Amino acid sequence: MLDFAIPAMQQRHLIKHLLIGTLALGTSTLATAQSEKEEKLPSPSATEDWSFKPPLVTPGETSAQPPSDAIILYSGSSDLDKWEHADGSPVKWKADGDALTIFPKATDIRTKQKFGNMQLHLEWRTPDPSEDKDFNRGNSGVLIMGLYELQIYESWNYSTKIYYNGQAGSVYKQHAPLVNAARKPQTWQTYDVIFEAPVFRADKTVEKPAYMTVLHNNVLILNHVELKGPMVYQGYPKYKYHDAKLPLQLQEHGSRVSFRNIWIREL
Ligand code: MG
């Protein structure tokens, strides 16, 4: 029986998994030794954290000029050639003025240059909330090394409901932000990120995990948090060996989120 105190998104997951569970019962006698060996993934709701609601904080006004030693990744359409889609094709997102706006279904973009430890600055703006479905408002993300997601989402004043480790400023499904410092929709917001890449031993096991520190609109929201592994929507994150430097990736999730003033300092 469904308790209506359960948020809508969890209800949807619950219904989905009840249906899947019913179907699975009907075919259980056909289960083979091979399927038993396959990893059983927990429900996506197993990694949703609703335990602590980050307090609301109103950020001050902000502006950020890149420092002299920054690598400029996006300041206008002339920087489009620094980016590509995963298949190596030219960027199909829309450049307008100094902003770059996601073109839905055009897939993620990534830098041609690869990065490991970094200081990263970028600015992002969510679209008019009425153009997105409620569970996908302003959904995008900064995938550092293409793997570790700092979430972008429409989280101003908790106007769009999502588990706290899925709101703006979360390390998606790993860490909720300390506070909610989000600005209103259609307003530019900033992320300033210090990222320490994971270190792997010669035998490819983890010597040191990745760490992330993030300021959202100049407010500290993640303080040197340890990452459990690459972002996964379903199941629990775990590290897998990868190169010391990988492209920076911006997520396309169907919402027309814009970006501007993206720069990086290698550490
Ligand atoms: Mg996202």
- pLDDT band for position 39 (cuts 50, 70, 90): confident
Residue whose tokens read 């706290």: 164
Longest dimension (CA), the chain: 66
Residues paired with residue 142 on neighbouring β-strands, in sequence order? 150, 250
Domain 71-266, classified CATH 2.60.120.560, yes or no: yes
pLDDT (0 to 100) of residue 5: 46
Ligand 1 centroid to 220 CA: how many Å?
A: 20
Q: What is the dihedral of CA 158, 248, 266, 198, to 10 degrees?
A: 80
Ligand 1 centroid to 203 CA: how many Å?
A: 32
Ligand 1 centroid to 89 CA: how many Å?
A: 22
pLDDT (0 to 100) of residue 33: 52
Query: What does pTM read for this prediction?
Result: 0.82
Ligand 1 centroid to 6 CA: how many Å?
A: 22
**pLDDT tens, position by position, 129-163:** 999 998 899 999 999 999 999 999 999 999 999 99
Ligand 1 centroid to 152 CA: how many Å?
A: 6
Q: 243 by DSSP, 3-state: which? A: coil
Determine contact, residues 51/248, Cβ cutoff 8 Å: no
Ligand 1 centroid to 147 CA: how many Å?
A: 12
pLDDT, greater one: 169 or 40: 169
Ligand 1 centroid to 171 CA: how many Å?
A: 10
Ligand 1 centroid to 209 CA: how many Å?
A: 22
Ligand 1 centroid to 160 CA: how many Å?
A: 14
Ligand 1 centroid to 141 CA: how many Å?
A: 4
Ligand 1 centroid to 253 CA: how many Å?
A: 7
Ligand 1 centroid to 229 CA: how many Å?
A: 16
**pLDDT tens, position by position, 80-117:** 999 999 999 999 999 999 999 999 999 999 999 999 99
**pLDDT tens, position by position, 178-228:** 999 999 999 999 999 999 999 999 999 999 999 999 999 999 999 999 999
Closest C-alpha to 264, from 202, 173, 192: 192
Ligand 1 centroid to 110 CA: how many Å?
A: 15
CA atoms within 13 A on the CB side of 255: 29
Total Cβ atoms within 10 A of residue 181: 25
Q: Residue 125: is its pLDDT beyond 50? A: yes
Residues paired with residue 186 on neighbouring β-strands, in sequence order? none
Enumerate the domain spans of the chain. 71-266
Q: 223 by DSSP, 3-state: which? A: strand
What residues contact 237, with CB distance under 8 A and at least 6 apart? Answer: 173, 174, 227, 228, 229, 230, 231
